Amino acid sequence: MDRLTHPRQELGIYTILRFPAIALSDRRASVTVTRTARWPTGFARILEEPSMQPRKVVRSPIRCSAAELVASRFRQIHLDFHTSELIPDVGSRFDADEFAGRLAEARVNWVTLFAKCHHGLSYYPTKAGTVHPSLTIDLLGEQVEACRRRGIVTPAYISIRVDEHNAKVHPEWVGRLKDGKAWKWAGPLDAGWYNHCLYNPDYIEELGAQAVEVLKWYDVEGIFWDMCYNPDPGCYCPRCFDGMKKAGLDFTSDDDHRTFEYQLTRDYTKKLARIIRGVRRNATIFFNGRMRPGIRGELDVFTHVEIEALPTGGWGYAFFPVHARYGRVLGKPVQGMTARFHKSWADFGGVKTPDQLLYEAGSILAAGAVMNVGDQCHPRGVLDKGAYQVIGTAFRHVEACEPWCAGARPETEIGVMMLPETFGDGPKAAPSGTKGGMLPWVDGAGRMLLELKQQYDLIYPDTPLARYRVVILPDRGVLDAGAKKSLQAFLARGGAVLASYRAAMEGEAFGLPALPVRSAGAFPFKPCYLALGPELGRGLPESHFVFYEECLQTKAAAGAQTFGRLCSTYFNRTYDHFCSHNQTPDDRVTEFPIAALKGRVAYLAPAVFQAYRDHSYSLYKELVARMLAKLLPEPLVKAQAPSAMEISLLRQAKPGRLVAHLVNFQPQRRHVNVEWIEELYPVRDIQLGIRTEQRPKAVYLAPQRKNLPYRMKGAYCEVTVPEVKAHQMVVMED
């Protein structure tokens, strides 16, 4: 252990993991850290240069909570700076005024700056880590100072799980996969970072020291921790095996691994959060990599919610708008993070078109979130001029929209209940194989409702239901006693429920007595066919439509109305019997209904939500739309618009108005791997009806402030929106 005292400002003693308390008040004490490597030749001299001394901190005048700060900054940048130790000229062309000026010109008012990157190298004169060997200035300090002069907020970034430098100095810190191999992002001979085991007090101590340095030496508003979680089900290194044995857990059990990983994650994130709050009480804190429906049990270490979703980088265009629907019920500000890259992170030279980023801005604002655009600074410290021209186009639009977005809350009337099979707040919450840990039937319901222009949230079984008119139970999951009681009270107050397939089942019987059917077991044919009948099939081609996934055969409860019938095939397609290229043709219409309705409760026998997500067959969406219309004949929004157009309704309590966001989605797939937007063509003369109940005082387009003629038809205020290119707001003043 080396005992180091910083030449300008001494730090308090801190202890992490191995000791019960954290003391940060003694400013005369020095910091005890583990030095991970020798300084490069001549580096000690460089650290004593004036340019490598931390600045005297002048705190910003911002006086608000971390949540209020996040919610007020709609134009954010996440500025990556993962830079190899082999790059010889880091920061050599950095000009503080030019750097901050380019951000300001693009209307940026928040930028996350790098303290330590995935290569394990720091960009300030750290004593707790390793400075990049070619850096000769206090890059972080100069960036913070320059941004502060422009009024730009500057939280700092520290990488956790990925630290290439420490992987080389401490190979024993590298995590292990289930097969015993070192955990790396690529093959052993391929380019890629090593990943650390997080059951490591020495490493967590080092991270805590870096956070204390950054928070005490610089005027940063908080810490963004990245790569914070081990892979499912966990790390398989000897250290973790020993820890599991001491905890009485079986290291051959995936569930026990999840229990262990969950607890160690809770321990280290709480300790790091406590350290941060000990230095700066109202600091912003975010641990990246865990945003999923089951995050609720860990929100005590978050000040806000960040949903990372690069549409062209593997997340897809539906990821953010769907995931934002659970993020915004968590009670914290939501930030939508995309990037300026054509593909994904560190796509140097890849710049999105202005229309692409304008569309993404609209989608983020429509969800009630603030916008964050990812970038990566060139190693020499120069921001890409063209990238910020494109970012500026989007941010100028966002800035113009802010008066109608600040403080706005979503107006929703449908709650899609994520049942316990879908997620968990604790250690057994294994990812489903989809990004974000969201199971496909919930994802499918979210995508479908977006296309149907329905206003919805993704909710939890214990979410209060008073604000909703309909609750959807999609495809699978069980109801606990509390959820049953809540739903029964909801129905008694006049609410409605739509369930599908095996949702709310207990064994082979439904756990919600109000459902209009009784189970008669699994339908034995997959795929099967749907004979829609006159009501479900009205206006559709007269055909028996294929259903690619499972169905449940049911019998109607007394007094229930049924719709359509399931059709069998000659036989399932197997090794022993098959017909033609795909599924066997339909054989006969059975007695089992497709759908049923009794009072305010509807049921669909097919696993319709997962099937829509996996097969994109619009018929399945039409089935849901027709049953939903029986429960919700007057939805908040009615529109004659393309199914791909997103329409979201938000309310600003002050000054009192509804704001409808129309977002024009027009992706183009010209390559097998990238679905992108080159240009957007306006959609014109959209007929829009908003259920306002009373006549608005004024209706106009925003941000243009152009009055729109309107008429009242029953409870609806109806307008014709002349044009939507990327994003258009329609405002209805109370």
Q: How confident is the model at residue 294 (pLDDT cuts 50, 70, 90)?
A: confident
| pLDDT (0 to 100) of residue 140 | 98
Alpha carbons 480 and 716: distance in angstroms, whole number: 38
Q: Which residue has the tokens 């007595």?
A: 513
Tokens of 104: 């300001």
- How confident is the model over 665-685, as a mean pLDDT? 86
- How confident is the model over 459-469, as a mean pLDDT? 96
Name the CATH superfamily, with its identifier, for domain 2-406: Glycosidases (3.20.20.80)
| pLDDT (0 to 100) of residue 55 | 59
- How confident is the model over 305-323, as a mean pLDDT? 94
Specify the pairing of strand 496-500 against strand 470-473: parallel
Other CB atoms within a 10 A radius of the CB of residue 730 amount to 25
Q: Which amino acid is at 557?
A: A
- How confident is the model over 69-77, as a mean pLDDT? 98
| pLDDT (0 to 100) of residue 43 | 37
| pLDDT (0 to 100) of residue 327 | 95
Q: Quick check: 698 pLDDT over 70? A: yes
Give per-residue pLDDT as tens, 147-202. Answer: 999 999 999 999 999 999 999 999 999 999 988 899 988 888 889 899 999 999 99
Secondary structure of 249-260 in the HEC alphabet? CCCCCHHHHHHH
Alpha carbons 289 and 161: distance in angstroms, whole number: 10
Q: Quick check: 12 pLDDT over 80? A: no
Share of the chain above pLDDT 70, in %: 89
CATH number of 412-631: 3.40.50.880
- How confident is the model over 132-139, as a mean pLDDT? 97
| pLDDT (0 to 100) of residue 29 | 28
Which secondary structure element, helix H or strand E, spans residue 723, and what is its range? strand 716-724
Give per-residue pLDDT as tens, 401-450. Answer: 999 999 999 999 999 999 976 444 444 444 433 455 788 999 999 999 99
| pLDDT (0 to 100) of residue 290 | 77
Q: Quick check: 369 pLDDT over 60? A: yes
Share of the chain above pLDDT 90, in %: 79
pTM over 0.85: yes
- How confident is the model over 69-94, as a mean pLDDT? 98
Q: Quick check: 465 pLDDT over 90? A: yes
- How confident is the model over 259-283, as a mean pLDDT? 95
| pLDDT (0 to 100) of residue 51 | 54
- Higher pLDDT among residues 379 and 669, named by residue: 379
Cβ partners under 8 Å of residue 470, min gap 6? 413, 414, 415, 495, 496, 497, 498, 628, 631, 632
Lowest mean pLDDT among 15-24, 30-39, 208-217, 686-695: 15-24
Q: What does the domain layout of the chain look like in residue ranges?
A: 2-406, 412-631, 637-733
Give per-residue pLDDT as tens, 594-606. Answer: 999 999 999 999 9
Q: Quick check: 45 pLDDT over 50? A: no
Alpha carbons 253 and 258: distance in angstroms, whole number: 9
| pLDDT (0 to 100) of residue 428 | 46
- How confident is the model over 356-371, as a mean pLDDT? 98
Lowest mean pLDDT among 18-27, 290-299, 320-329: 18-27
Alpha carbons 9 and 281: distance in angstroms, whole number: 19
**pLDDT averaged over every residue in the chain:** 89
Q: Quick check: 65 pLDDT over 50? A: yes
Q: How confident is the model at residue 75 (pLDDT cuts 50, 70, 90)?
A: very high
Cβ partners under 8 Å of residue 168, min gap 6? none
- How confident is the model over 465-494, as a mean pLDDT? 96
Q: Quick check: 471 pLDDT over 60? A: yes
Alpha carbons 691 and 591: distance in angstroms, whole number: 40
Residue 2, burial from CB neighbour count under 10 angstroms (0-12, 13-18, 19+)? exposed
- How confident is the model over 498-502, as a mean pLDDT? 98
CATH 3.40.50.2300 applies to domain 637-733: no
Q: What are phi and psi of 703, to 5 degrees?
A: -85, 5
| pLDDT (0 to 100) of residue 338 | 98
- How confident is the model over 64-93, as a mean pLDDT? 97
| pLDDT (0 to 100) of residue 670 | 73
Spell out where 439-570 has E strands. Answer: 456-459, 470-473, 496-500, 505-506, 509-510, 517-522, 528-531, 544-547, 552-556, 561-569
